[in-house]
Structure 1
């Protein structure tokens, strides 16, 4: 059975394609390609992110609290209606990310999210995760908000599966036609020469990787695909200028109305 619960420290780096090409051979001295990349081709991941009508989850996430969560539906490529996908809860607590997910057929996932009705449990499902998802659906009135896809190259450490490095390119998004089965098209989120590199480790990263990052002047950045898309959407939509101000002022509002919670934002 595929791993359905993940807990990792995540670091993100925006690099250009030149650096991306230069470090591949060095990485493969210590890493091996993910099975989806064994033919040296990139594979496509497509996602639907869910949020409330007033974008509560992403606005909370962008305010940098100690705890945040997201719900997304993920597929590899463009799924058919009866093809298995992953329904995932992503959480981050004090900088440590965790992901809990269950397999569902695409039509089962849509039904669960729309109605909160649990499908008949099959051997490919994780009942505990489904119960957690049902609880989230009870707390929040969620709806599909954004489609987000990208092409990925991934690798694992030869010594430990706890170390994983991914490179995402051609990140594209849309806020219409919000169905995974309707194609992986959308507007570009990054510049053509940019690539998002993510290092996911159980604990600290190995010395050889730290030296390589230093050698190529690859510096850590704070980057969320969904968060970046949301901010880009606000900036491009003058009708939502007030929403951007609301997003930027979340901390001040929390501090003024709930000073006892201010510690969550540091």
Structure 2
């Protein structure tokens, strides 16, 4: 079995006195792993210019080849799509559970390391906590609902995941995948991360990462998703760049887009329409 890195997790959370069925936990304070996220939809015709601008001021992510890398996610939700509706309704505190794999999904086997993640939003701040485990263990935890072995530092997080899966009857609902180019800030922009996601696809069944299943575009191929993630502030050069390109902030969610594209929910006002 391949060695696993340490847990990527925030300090413990305090339970909030809210909706016992949801078993919500609210952070006692915000920590360094918190980020602000801003999303834009951009035409592919603009991508080359944006890439050139980013490369002049930022470094290519060390884990990314020149053509980027694949990002594949399986999202879990309740039978009534609670997490989906919380996103659509814009609740100030919301979360989602997912499994994530970086790279070629056709190489995934039981021993491939993947991430079990809880991504949550507290007001305008996005928080992400995760552990890296073999794919077999990730499925045991989230699909078979069994506690898995892990260094003691991660047990609180794993218990939270298992509590959500059992308490809310979570099951896989949607899968998304895309090719990502990633840039990281340098010098005064340390903590800044910018990504360009192309060919955003999804499916609503056969949720094993390596399954021989068809994925279809859920965002038109002529569009890419630009995400800006910053710990404290977005630098002026970047806000000027988006203003010069007339880019508008959007509330696009790849998970919600996949749910709606396959008819699991009505298309919301945030849905990116297909091309005619």
TM-score range, shorter chain: 0.7 to 0.9
1:193 to 215, 222, 231: 222
- 1:143-154 equivalence runs, <5 A: 143-154=171-182
- Alignment partner, residue 51 of structure 1: 77
- Alignment partner, residue 266 of structure 2: 244
SS in 2 for 1:44: strand
Offset of residue 3 of structure 1: 7.4
Q: Which ranges in structure 1 are unaligned for 5 or more consecutive residues?
A: 235-239, 249-266
- 1:1-266 equivalence runs, <5 A: 1=5, 4-5=8-9, 6-37=33-64, 39-77=65-103, 78=105, 79-122=108-151, 126-159=154-187, 160-183=189-212, 185-234=214-263, 244=266
Q: Which moved more, 1:23-32 or 1:142-151?
A: 23-32
Distance in 1 separating the partners of 2:171 and 2:159: 18
Offset of residue 116 of structure 1: 2.7
Please tell me whether the aligned partners of residues 103 and 126 of structure 1 are also in contact (alpha carbons under 8 angstroms): no
SS in 2 for 1:126: helix
SS in 1 for 2:119: strand
Which one has the bigger helix percentage?
A: 1
Offset of residue 46 of structure 1: 0.7
Please tell me whether the aligned partners of residues 51 and 145 of structure 1 are also in contact (alpha carbons under 8 angstroms): yes
Offset of residue 231 of structure 1: 2.3
- Alignment partner, residue 274 of structure 2: none
Q: RMSD in angstroms over aligned alpha carbons? A: 2.1
Q: Which moved more, 1:148-157 or 1:174-183?
A: 174-183
Distance in 2 separating the partners of 1:70 and 1:158: 31
Q: Which ranges in structure 2 are unaligned for 5 or more consecutive residues?
A: 10-32, 270-276
Cα 1:29–1:183 shift into 2, 3 Å:
farther
Offset of residue 233 of structure 1: 2.6
TM-score by length of 2: 0.80
The number of equivalent residue pairs is 238
Distance in 2 separating the partners of 1:185 and 1:24: 30
